[in-house]
Amino acid sequence: MTSSDPTVLPDPWHSLHELLAAMDAEIEQVYVERGIKGVRPRFAYPLIRLAHTGPLTIRELAESLNRSHSAISQTIAAMRKEDLVTSEPGPDARTRRINLTERGRSLVPFLEAEWRATHATVAELDGETPHAMTAVVEEVRRALEQRSMRDRILHHLAEPPQ
């Protein structure tokens, strides 16, 4: 243990996490107001993709969405509980093919409309703020390409005395 608790300082990530959670909650509220229960905003991307591609393995779906296998696996498990997707044996014993259920397929037109409306909303917000969120994200990404997060942390890391 170090001499002082570093977690008493304000968390620089807190406001970003809070903002993203609040935005997701409002998207979910749109779903509920439309009578769509049990659907979370993180389900939209894989549901729309599966509607356009047909069945995919979790690995194929993760790669097509540029997400980790673990994240998509967790999302698929949650979507299965809400009767949005099914899984069946894939081409070999280690894989499962994910397919839309009738319920999942029936939601896709609305989810596509919501996806487009959300993108329009982000563009609107970018126009209303002095620093467009999408531009700031790209600037941070470029800065991290020049010098990684890992390297930056290591530069500031003071090892505790042994």
Concatenated DSSP letters of 18-63: HHHHHHHHHHHHHHHHTT--S--HHHHHHHHHHHHH--EEHHHHHH
Q: What is the mean pLDDT of the chain?
A: 93
Q: What is the pTM of this model?
A: 0.85
Cα 68 from Cα 13, distance rounded (Å): 21
Q: What is the pLDDT of residue 56?
A: 96
Q: What is the pLDDT of residue 161?
A: 63
* pLDDT single digits (tens) 69-122: 999 999 999 999 999 999 988 778 788 899 999 999 999 999 999 999 999 999
Share of residues in the chain with pLDDT > 70 (%): 98
